[in-house]
């Protein structure tokens, strides 16, 4: 886990909901924030605070970046074969959590091609320097879920899911949360 803010907390909860995570190594430029993250999230997995991004990334099955960095947060050379990288923090053409080398060698999946080419600095920078072309994006997540595109094709393949956020996904998630809260009798109705 690279980053220790709100997005990192939500991301760890999401990953732990779909995979049996035993150990998490977290790096943040602020050790105090990383330690607070570790204490708060320790009910999900054994969390170790590390002093360098490479210590978090080396040997990891999943690398989750949740920062607002304008430069890569780790070196792609530190990724083991078969690593899945999730990038959710950067959301402008000038932000870059993941380096060009990782983008170039990974099977890339995005939430939206249109949004990714407008906002995902990692992809835009890799394309602009000639490391990839527009067809390097393998699929949108919805295409894999619907079965019209395959996902990972081998256990050794590095995969990269880049999310810049899509409003329709947020609206659907909010609708599900509201419906569930109503069914469970949770929450408070606020008069407008």
- Residue 97's CATH number: 3.40.50.720
Domain count across the chain: 1
* 56-73 per-position pLDDT tens digit: 999 999 999 999 999 999
Token duo for residue 77: 């050379």
93 has pLDDT over 80: yes
Token duo for residue 69: 């960095």
Query: What predicted TM-score, i.e. pTM, was given to this entire model?
Result: 0.89
Q: Tokens 């989750």 identify what position? A: 64
The verdict on residue 100 lying in a domain is: yes
38 has pLDDT over 90: yes
* 155-184 per-position pLDDT tens digit: 999 999 999 887 777 777 788 888 888 899
Among 141, 161, 163, 160, residue whose Cα is nearest residue 150? 141
d(CA 44, CA 144): 28
- How many other CB atoms are found less than 10 A from the CB of residue 12? 23
The verdict on residue 86 lying in a domain is: yes
Domain carrying residue 111: 52-184
The verdict on residue 35 lying in a domain is: no
């Amino acid at each position: 886990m690279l980053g220790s803010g709100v997005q990192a907390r939500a991301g760890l909860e999401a990953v732990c909901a779909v995979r049996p995570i035993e150990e998490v190594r977290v790096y943040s430029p602020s050790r105090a924030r990383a330690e607070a993250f570790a204490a708060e999230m320790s009910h999900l997995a054994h969390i170790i605070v590390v002093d360098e991004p490479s210590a978090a990334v080396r040997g990891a099955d999943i690398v989750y970046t949740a920062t607002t960095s304008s430069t890569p947060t780790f070196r792609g050379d530190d990724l083991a074969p078969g690593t899945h990288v999730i990038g959710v923090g950067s959301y402008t053409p000038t932000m870059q959590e993941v380096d060009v080398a990782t983008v170039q060698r990974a099977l890339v999946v995005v939430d939206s091609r249109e949004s990714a080419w407008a906002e995902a600095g990692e992809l835009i920078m890799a394309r602009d320097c000639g490391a990839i072309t527009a067809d390097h994006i393998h699929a949108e997540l919805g295409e894999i879920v619907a079965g019209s595109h395959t996902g990972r094709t081998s256990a050794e393949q590095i995969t990269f899911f880049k999310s810049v956020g899509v409003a329709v996904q947020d609206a659907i998630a909010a609708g599900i949360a509201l419906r569930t809260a109503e069914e469970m009798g949770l929450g408070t109705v606020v008069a407008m």
